[in-house]
Amino acid sequence: MQLSDSGLQAVASLAARHGFSTEAVTTMLQAVTAGGGTMAQFSHPEFGGSGQWMSGGMLMLGDMFNHGLKSRVDSLCHELATLSATRGDLWLSAPVFGGGSAWWPADLGQPAASGSQNQLRYAWFPQARRLAVDSGGEVWIYDTLDHQIGGFSQQQGSGGGIAMSSQFGPVDLSRLPVVMRAGQAVAPAPAFAPAPACAAAFSPAPAPMPAPAAGGEDLLATIEKLGALLQRGLLTEQEFAAKKAELLSRL
């Protein structure tokens, strides 16, 4: 991937105006272009190391307390987003991102962001509103709904996984609808589909338990309701087992 003469001139002008090297600006232009002009994941010493930018106003830098640098990087990213959207003569050939060994479905195209965390691989496609996650060789495709994912990081804790954030805050992977698994379409479920093992970024809040009644038949009906919540993914196996044992002890 190489800049055209027009692209080199545009980069040189932005570098002089924002006080960055042409190499740094070129790196950021590649990241913004890969993000479809709405976000960028980048890594360069002049930008404080690794960082993420999203057009809605989110910016994360390794040098997080350098507010002057944040302002300069944010301004640069906005100008590059406009440049990328309005100029088709910046590159000698169309940029290709993600390499030639894509593990996600070909019809998704090239991701705006991709990487790996805790034995999982991910690729985000904002235009298609899809997130691909490779868990142990099995690829799950999620509908990202209205989320504009602005950051991926390693989830803390023994389970590991991928932690994500969007304009709405932390993104719970287990609450994103699964549309494809292992190459097979997944029918819409009445509740949120489960995430692959160790992939959920945050655990959902426990569902409220049905209030038990006094009679034996009522207790069995309550257990059936709990079973329905378990099937819908609103209760964990542990929560269901504990409540079931409690109710059965009253019979």
Please report the DSSP string for 130-187 in residue order.
Answer: EEEEEETTEEEEEE-TT----EEEEPPSTT--EEEEETTEEE-GGGSPEEEETTEE-P
The pLDDT value given to residue 249: 74
Compute the average pLDDT of residues 205-219. Answer: 56
Q: Of 185, 205, 237, which marks where a domain is finished?
A: 185
Q: What residue numbers bound the domain in which 220 lies?
A: 216-248
Is 114 in the same domain as 77? no
pLDDT at 229 over 80: no
Is 225 in the same domain as 176? no
Alpha-carbon distance 15 to 134, whole Å?
A: 38
pLDDT band at 217 (very low <50, low <70, confident <90, very high): low
Q: Of 86, 116, 146, which marks where a domain is finished?
A: 86
Is 9 in the same domain as 63? yes
Query: Per the domain annotation, does 94 fall within a domain?
Result: no
pLDDT at 119 over 50: yes
Query: Per the domain annotation, does 211 fall within a domain?
Result: no
User: Any idea of the CA torsion for 85, 34, 26, 151, to the nearest 10 degrees?
Assistant: 110
Is 80 in the same domain as 111? no
Query: Per the domain annotation, does 118 fall within a domain?
Result: yes
- Between 154 and 221, the higher pLDDT residue: 221
Compute the radius of gyration of the chain from its Cα atoms.
23
pLDDT band at 236 (very low <50, low <70, confident <90, very high): confident
Query: Per the domain annotation, does 149 fall within a domain?
Result: yes
Is 169 in the same domain as 115? yes
Is 110 in the same domain as 68? no
Q: Is 205 exposed, middle or buried (0-12, 13-18, 19+ CB in 10 A)?
A: exposed
Compute the average pLDDT of residues 180-184. Answer: 85
Is 122 in the same domain as 172? yes
Compute the average pLDDT of residues 19-32. Answer: 91
The pLDDT value given to residue 211: 53
Is 79 in the same domain as 113? no
- Between 216 and 27, the higher pLDDT residue: 27
Query: Per the domain annotation, does 91 fall within a domain?
Result: no
Alpha-carbon distance 85 to 82, whole Å?
A: 5
Query: Per the domain annotation, does 170 fall within a domain?
Result: yes
How many domains, in total, are found in the chain?
Answer: 3
> What pLDDT, in 10s, does the model give residues 146-156?
887 766 765 55
The pLDDT value given to residue 96: 46
Alpha-carbon distance 86 to 146, whole Å?
A: 25
pLDDT at 95 over 60: no
Compute the average pLDDT of residues 156-181. Answer: 77
State the pTM of this model.
0.46
Query: Per the domain annotation, does 235 fall within a domain?
Result: yes
CB 139 within 8 A of CB 108: no
Q: Do strands 120-125 and 184-185 pair parallel, antiparallel, or not at all (unpaired)?
A: unpaired
Is 124 in the same domain as 181? yes
Is 9 in the same domain as 40? yes
Compute the average pLDDT of residues 193-222. Answer: 55
Is 119 in the same domain as 171? yes
Q: Of 86, 119, 148, which marks where a domain is finished?
A: 86
Query: Per the domain annotation, does 124 fall within a domain?
Result: yes
